[in-house]
Amino acid sequence: MITRRDVAVAAACALLASCGGGGGTREGHVCEGASITPPALGTDYAPNFLATWVGTLTMTINGSSNSGMVTLPITRTDVNKLELAGLCDEAKGVPALVQSSDSFDTVCYVCAPAAVSGCSSIVVTYETGSATLAAGTLDLIGTGTAAGCGMNLPLTFEFISGPAVYELARNGYAFAGSVSDVLVGAFSR
C-alpha cells in the first residue's frame, strides 16, 4: 500500500532531493499549451528579480501544511524570461515570464517523475504561480498537484523573502532547509 509518506518522498525527490541511481537525463517540461512568450513590455525587467532569494516557504498538500526557510535561485534566460531553480530535481528550473517591473508569473511546468517503493511514478506539477516584488520583498504564491499511483493531491505554496533575510544570506548566514524538507513535512502531517 502506498502511503502519504511514500508520495511525499517521491514528490520531494521530484522537487529537489536526489533519489540515488545513475544520473540519467530526467527532465520535466512545460505543460502542453502553456505560453512561453513574455508580454511586450519595451524594457527588460528580468534583472529586477535576479538573486538567490532566501525566505519562508509554506507548502500545503491535501490540507496539510509545513513551513521552512529555503533558498530560491532566480536566473534570467532571455528578455523578460526567468528560471526558478530548486523547485524540481533537474538541470533546468521552472520557467517564469515577467509581467511588469515588479511581477512575474510562472509557466505551468511538470517536474520529471520520481519512483518510490510500490509506485513507479509520482509527478509534481506547478500549475500556476504569481510573484510580486515590493520594497525588497518577493512574494510568490501558486498551485499544483502531486499525482501518481491512483493519487492526485492538490498542492499550494507560498514563498516570502524579505530584505533582512536576503541580507543575512548575502553575508554568509546558512539556512539548512530545502523545498523537499518542507514538502515532506506537509505530506507527513
Mean pLDDT of the chain: 78
* Listed range (12-16, 111-115, 137-141) with the worst mean pLDDT: 12-16
pLDDT at 62 over 60: yes
Most confident of 14-23, 57-66, 91-100: 91-100
**8's grid cell:** 511525499
One-letter identity of residue 127: E
d(CA 34, CA 40): 17
Q: Give the per-residue pLDDT at 109.
A: 95
pLDDT at 130 over 60: yes
* Residue 2 φ then ψ, to 5°: -85, 130
3-state secondary structure of 147: strand
Distances (CA, A) of 81 to 94, 136, 157: 11, 20, 21
d(CA 109, CA 98): 16
* Listed range (19-23, 85-89, 108-112) with the worst mean pLDDT: 19-23
Structure confidence by residue, pLDDT tens digits, 157-183: 999 997 655 555 555 555 545 565 555
* pLDDT band at residue 11 under the 50/70/90 scheme: very low
Most confident of 2-6, 57-61, 127-131, 182-186: 127-131
Most confident of 45-59, 96-110, 111-125, 172-186: 96-110
d(CA 35, CA 6): 33
One-letter identity of residue 57: L
